[in-house]
Structure formats: C-alpha cells, structure tokens
Amino acid sequence: DAKTTQPNSMESNEEEPVHLPCNHSTISGTDYIHWYRQLPSQGPEYVIHGLTSNVNNRMASLAIAEDRKSSTLILHRATLRDAAVYYCILRDATYKYIFGTGTRLKVLA
C-alpha cells in the first residue's frame, strides 16, 4: 500500500489560509490523492481528491506537484470548525483507504 507522510500537527489563526502538506514519493501513475478530515467524535469526511491537476471545491483546494510526489491541501480561510485531523491518502485500484495518523489542525481564535 502506497504511503504518505504528513506533519503530526499544525496551528493556524482563524480567518487565515492554511496549507497542509503531504509527501507521497512512492505514488504510482494510477493512484488518486484523496483528502479526508475527521472532526472530534465523528466519522471521516471527504474533502477533495485529484490525480494530476489542481482541484478546487467548496471546501478546499488541492495543489499537486508536477511530479506528483507531494500535494498540499489549502483551506482558504480557516474557521474554528475546521479544527480536525486531516488525512492524505493514496487510493489505488482496490479502492480501499489506508489511513495514516494525519495532521491534527488546531485553529486559534
């Protein structure tokens, strides 16, 4: 299973952008990059995914490096409700997710 590396924790001030990095140097050509977040006492929540091009949706943006060995999840204006554990996951053809420990994002008021 392809692996990802994320910082254990990050902090951000409210209303400011947050850039959450993820390294995936062993990514294969067909692996999709998926991001989920898990708020306290809840199930994981889909955030965004991409293959090669940068992606935007109402929750976030995903910037993918040209060599695909890293990506960055961008929250444009962090709110207190964005405090969660963010998981970067490579999904292969088996479609299952292998969750790592993720990045715990703390948002400061």
Partner 1 sequence: EPEVTQTPSHQVTQMGQEVILRCVPISNHLYFYWYRQILGQKVEFLVSFYNNEISEKSEIFDDQFSVERPDGSNFTLKIRSTKLEDSAMYFCASTSTGSYGYTFGSGTRLTVV
CB environment 48-60: b (16+ within 10 A), e (fewer): bebeeeebeeeeb
Q: Is 53 in the site for partner 1 (CB under 8 A)?
A: no
To partner 1, the closest distance from the beta carbon of 13 in angstroms equals 27
Q: Which of 36, 60, 70, 88 binds partner 1 (CB under 8 A)?
A: 36
To partner 1, the closest distance from the beta carbon of 14 in angstroms equals 25
Q: Which of 2, 31, 44, 55 binds partner 1 (CB under 8 A)?
A: 44
Q: Is 40 in the site for partner 1 (CB under 8 A)?
A: no
